[in-house]
Structure 1
């Protein structure tokens, strides 16, 4: 299937949106022809341990938008019983993305939504996730963002498995 540019939007032959435009580390579109950050492949099936490790590496590198894509893959391909967990983690990663882009309102809202979803998770999470720690991180970062703090993605990244 070919991809064409129609204005600033990428569409395939059937008119569906494609994301061929280069992006920066926070997922913002760059002008065509600009060097961008490598995209995360979509639809990759990973186990929980691999999902958490890959997302942590991306968060540590200041790429929460890309970490959200890893969580989204787990949300869409994992067991139905875990979808809420992975969706909540994706929301926290998008919240960090928005906060780092300077969108305080959207960042705080998504951080809190993700924290609430994680707080509702019953029992031990897969992949060694420290859900309580991520909930504390997300709520504290949402508070800081609402108070006007500047956020740098890598410096503000959570520890998904707790303290190293």
Structure 2
């Protein structure tokens, strides 16, 4: 007869909760968002639910990408996706997917990274116009689509983790 509970003889650990009582994992994280053991020094997490202007979003995400923290950049894009105008959600969701794709590629999950890079590129493709004057918030979306395709192909061919900072895209084109 099987057991219906998950009794392993250990006392149940209380769940981590945020200030509103929602379940949140409070374990520290590394620069690629991987959980570290409690008590370990991790990378400061991005606060959730921050409403930024699009320009602030792009600047914050670029800084995190440049530091090799694409997981954290994804969280910045996710805030824009969730708080921005309905008509722009595909743009911000696609940018978040690109950041997560880079995260997976940097963690060594090259197959998952390539899939997410391609999915993100497909999502932002409709926004990818050639004219600098028409690019939303100055984001070089044609350049990002090309970057994502090249990186996806590269990680599939070589099947090894990439350096997130070295492979970070320029959101507004060449510096």
Question: Hey, which of these two has a bigger chunk of strand by percent?
Answer: 1
1:126 to 2:132 alignment: no
1:111 shift after superposition: 0.2
1:19 shift after superposition: 2.5
Inter-CA distance 63–122: structure 2 relative to 1 (3 Å threshold): closer
> Number of paired residues?
159
Q: How does 1:11-160 map to 2 (within 5 A)?
A: 11=17, 16-121=22-127, 123=129, 124-148=134-158, 149-160=160-171
User: For 1:126 and 1:105, how far apart are their aligned partners in 2?
Assistant: 30
User: For 2:166 and 2:113, how far apart are their aligned partners in 1?
Assistant: 16
Inter-CA distance 28–7: structure 2 relative to 1 (3 Å threshold): farther
User: For 1:63 and 1:13, how far apart are their aligned partners in 2?
Assistant: 25
**Consecutive unaligned residues in structure 2, runs of 5 or more:** 1-11
Contact kept, 8 Å, 1:98 with 1:104, in 2: the verdict is yes
TM-score, structure 1 normalization? 0.90
**Consecutive unaligned residues in structure 1, runs of 5 or more:** 1-5
SS for the counterpart of 2:50 is coil
TM-score, structure 2 normalization? 0.84
Inter-CA distance 39–14: structure 2 relative to 1 (3 Å threshold): closer
SS for the counterpart of 1:147 is helix
- Deviation larger for 146-155 or 58-67: 146-155
User: For 1:13 and 1:162, how far apart are their aligned partners in 2?
Assistant: 39
Contact kept, 8 Å, 2:107 with 2:161, in 1: the verdict is no
User: For 2:170 and 2:18, how far apart are their aligned partners in 1?
Assistant: 38
